[in-house]
Amino acid sequence: MTPIHVIGGGLAGSEAAWQIAQAGATVVLHEMRPERRTEAHRTGRLAELVCSNSFRSDDAETNAVGVIHREMRAMGSLIMAAADAHQVPAGGALAVDREGFSAAVEAAILARGEITIVRGEVAAIPPADWDSVIIATGPLTSPDLAAAIRGLTGEGELAFFDAIAPIVHRDTIDMDKAWLQSRYDKRGPGGSGADYVNCPLDRAEYEAFVDALLAGEKTEFKDFEGTPYFDGCLPIEVMAARGRETLRHGPMKPVGLTNAHRPTVKPYAVVQLRQDNALGTLFNMVGFQTKLKYGEQARIFRMIPGLERAEFARLGGLHRNTYLNAPRLIDPLLRLKAMPRLRFAGQITGCEGYVESAAVGLIAGRMAAAERLGLPVFAPPGTTAIGALLNHITGGHIETIDAGPRSFQPMNVNFGLFPPIEEPRLDANGARLRGPERGVARKRALSLRAARDMEAWLGAQRAPPVAMAG
Ligand SMILES: Cc1cc2nc3c(=O)[nH]c(=O)nc-3n(C[C@H](O)[C@H](O)[C@H](O)COP(=O)(O)OP(=O)(O)OC[C@H]3O[C@@H](n4cnc5c(N)ncnc54)[C@H](O)[C@@H]3O)c2cc1C
């Protein structure tokens, strides 16, 4: 059987190779380490964790990360089996002994006759006789391969840094304070003239907000990242440090907007949020990319009128990160539209995090194997965590309606990506649920629906769980 080639033996590539072998197809896994290092990896091992040792929440009832864990386990994930076998105590989170974890992944892969590991960099677009390829080279894809991919996709379609603005669950914005309006009521392509949520600040609120930004604790860039600032994409705290009025003339400018609740009072500054996904459940804070620490972001952004009770689907950041403008470039089966023999997986697709990267690797592996074996290829339903994440990266994100930098930014899995569900109003005993309880009940309902739909989707194709010694 002609092998499938997987490039990159990180979280996504190792999982993809494993899934292909489990399905009964053969695979060549290309990993450039230890021959060639990245700026962050320290070892030559497969599936090395470059930073924290946490796979985040393992709560499958009320947390979308826990739901994706559950789905991966149900699909015989090697990454999850190795994580479970090398768990260290971490409360409700799944954290691992990093050495034991990556040694276990590597040992499991080495033991599979279907997988050949080739150590060496793939520095160009693979030759035409590699008819099925999964590129899972991650946020630190080697420069030569990245340049070759850019040659296929076009300059602006493969980014080397992300600039993530925080994303808010739409239903947690206080619309008694905020209002819907586009600047100058402009209708962009596909716009209605009322596409933005606007949060007004008076002078005292603006001054306090600027003070908080300046005082807030920031994260530093890692040495290898450099300082990737360019005008038009500065962190808000850097803009604030350039002068107290800078934000008011930048992302917080109040012009072309009338507060629907107080039409006669001109806001001193306005924070705009723009719809981020086609479902309309998530809105991003326009121009609010930031290096503030996560805890600081939640605290400081909740100072903004209308966002006092905001829940964040994703907080902001700026990192060295190689990723595609996936919604435009890859199809729902993760293939590059311009060259369908190339499939992408892991963080390079625009998902973010160890777990999400491995999950996309898992699905890419299954899809490539099914294709090779002449079986039908399906993506999981959009009501599952993996399906919701895939939908987002392959089309669910909506492009900005304005001119400007492209708007697709890396995404963690979160319930905002799931199609909405009617919010339960009563508990199991018929008692009325209060606000916060309703939110928890909604998450439980989304998780239950995901479990049911994943079960149905897996049907006869369920892979047996992986047995692994601790
Ligand atoms: C510095 C840093 C810190 C991070 N910290 C965290 C964190 O704490 N928690 C978290 O959830 N996520 C973190 N991430 C984000 C991300 O989830 C991880 O990077 C994750 O490992 C991505 O999985 P992946 O399989 O897509 O890429 P990787 O795990 O990086 O795997 C890609 C593999 O491809 C290899 N490779 C690259 N180019 C080539 C080539 N041309 N030929 C052959 N092999 C190649 C690399 O050596 C690597 O082994 C971090 C990212 C970075 C850059």
**Structural contact between residues 33 and 10, judged by C-beta atoms closer than 8 angstroms:** no
Predicted confidence at residue 278, as pLDDT, reads 82
Predicted confidence at residue 463, as pLDDT, reads 53
Q: How far is the CA of 298 from the centre of ligand 1 (A)?
A: 27
3-state secondary structure of 160: strand
Ligand 1 pocket at CB < 6 A? 7-13, 30-33, 38, 40-41, 50-52, 121-123, 136-142, 145, 222, 320, 346-348, 353-354, 357
Q: How far is the CA of 348 from the centre of ligand 1 (A)?
A: 9
**E strand or H helix that includes residue 7:** strand 4-7
Q: How far is the CA of 330 from the centre of ligand 1 (A)?
A: 20
Looking from the CA of residue 145, the nearest atom of ligand 1 is 41
Backbone φ/ψ region at 37: left (φ over 0), alpha (ψ -120 to 50), beta: beta
Q: In testing the pocket of ligand 1, which one of 48, 134, 137 has its CB within 8 Å of the most ligand atoms?
A: 137
- In eight-state DSSP terms, residue 22 is H
Q: How far is the CA of 412 from the centre of ligand 1 (A)?
A: 15
Q: Whose CA is closest to 167, among 130, 207, 127, 197?
A: 197
Q: In testing the pocket of ligand 1, which one of 117, 134, 347 has its CB within 8 Å of the most ligand atoms?
A: 347
The Cα 227–Cα 319 span in angstroms is 9
Q: How far is the CA of 10 from the centre of ligand 1 (A)?
A: 6
Q: Whose CA is closest to 361, among 61, 72, 34?
A: 72
Predicted confidence at residue 459, as pLDDT, reads 87
Q: How far is the CA of 435 from the centre of ligand 1 (A)?
A: 39
Looking from the CA of residue 33, the nearest atom of ligand 1 is 47
The Cα 244–Cα 271 span in angstroms is 16
The Cα 288–Cα 338 span in angstroms is 33
The Cα 38–Cα 157 span in angstroms is 22
Q: How far is the CA of 139 from the centre of ligand 1 (A)?
A: 5
Q: Whose CA is closest to 169, among 389, 393, 418, 364?
A: 418
Residue with CA at minimum distance from ligand 1 atom 30: 138
Q: What is the pTM of this model?
A: 0.90
Instruction: Name the amino acid, one letter, at 167.
Output: I
Looking from the CA of residue 49, the nearest atom of ligand 1 is 21
- Regions of the chain with pLDDT less than 70: 188-190, 227-232, 398-406, 460-470
Instruction: Name the amino acid, one letter, at 251.
Output: P
Predicted confidence at residue 322, as pLDDT, reads 95
The Cα 237–Cα 212 span in angstroms is 9
Helix orientation angle between 294-301 and 203-215, rounded to the nearest 10 degrees: 170
**Structural contact between residues 368 and 4, judged by C-beta atoms closer than 8 angstroms:** yes
Predicted confidence at residue 232, as pLDDT, reads 61
The Cα 84–Cα 69 span in angstroms is 10
3-state secondary structure of 443: helix
Strand 317-324 and strand 312-314: the pairing is unpaired
Q: How far is the CA of 240 from the centre of ligand 1 (A)?
A: 32
Give tens-digit pLDDT for 448-466: 999 999 999 998 565 555 6
Task: Supply 192's token pair.
Answer: 């209605």
The Cα 168–Cα 442 span in angstroms is 17
Taking residue 392's Cβ as centre, other Cβ atoms within 10 Å add up to 26
Distances (CA, A) of 443 to 62, 419, 425, 449: 5, 12, 13, 10
Residue with CA at minimum distance from ligand 1 atom 29: 10
Give tens-digit pLDDT for 282-338: 999 999 999 999 999 999 999 999 999 999 999 999 888 999 999 999 999 999 999
